[in-house]
A and B are shown apart, each in its own frame.
Chain A
């Protein structure tokens, strides 16, 4: 496997895995550090991050967010991303953990 592949996998605690672009996933400094090839973490070898405290639904929204963030990086007057209210608090905890 290439040492620095273009895509990485994020796995939720209930077994869902999401394949996202490395550049998007590394918007989160936590994930970036986990996947850093210079680091000694197991995640860096497999290009897979298992997030034990985030479930599938929330992780899906997180993936959507990282792409949304990357897409609108230099733009002005960006419209807010939409997400269901029920996910709100869990998403807040996840975003606080991932620091995004």
Chain B
């Protein structure tokens, strides 16, 4: 596979998981970062007119989670059994559910944004962070990772899924010690560590 190129905004959003996968894999992902005006200019020239999209050997593919999963499979960061893959996909899709709620704090009326922030604080973050924490605890290997004793796409997804929550209220996450330990483990992993060191903080 020749070097893939991803086009996306500067935000984490639906592109960050792919960036984390390639960082963890020690592989280069060429980034084409666009702002909204320049995206709107090139949008009609793209096949599917959506971001993020990735170009692999001249072909264009979209859907952020599909891309991240593909890159994880290419680089040994997916499950080894089908059941492990299901456990990973479950987490990635839970992350997507969460992102949809978080996006409501960035778009729409001020009232809507305030309500969304309240919902996140009072119900959504507690519910979802608890699910992540429980899943990590359930790993019989007790490695601190979600599956077995090595890092997979699921761990990168949990790091990313809890990032906005961590940025807005780090103390809240301390009530989920296994989740916090996983965040530290993943952030310290080779490749991820160096990537995070130079990453600019974004709200979403």
Partners in one complex: no
Residues of B within 8 A of A (CB): none
By a beta-carbon cutoff of 8 Å, the part of chain A in contact with chain B is: none
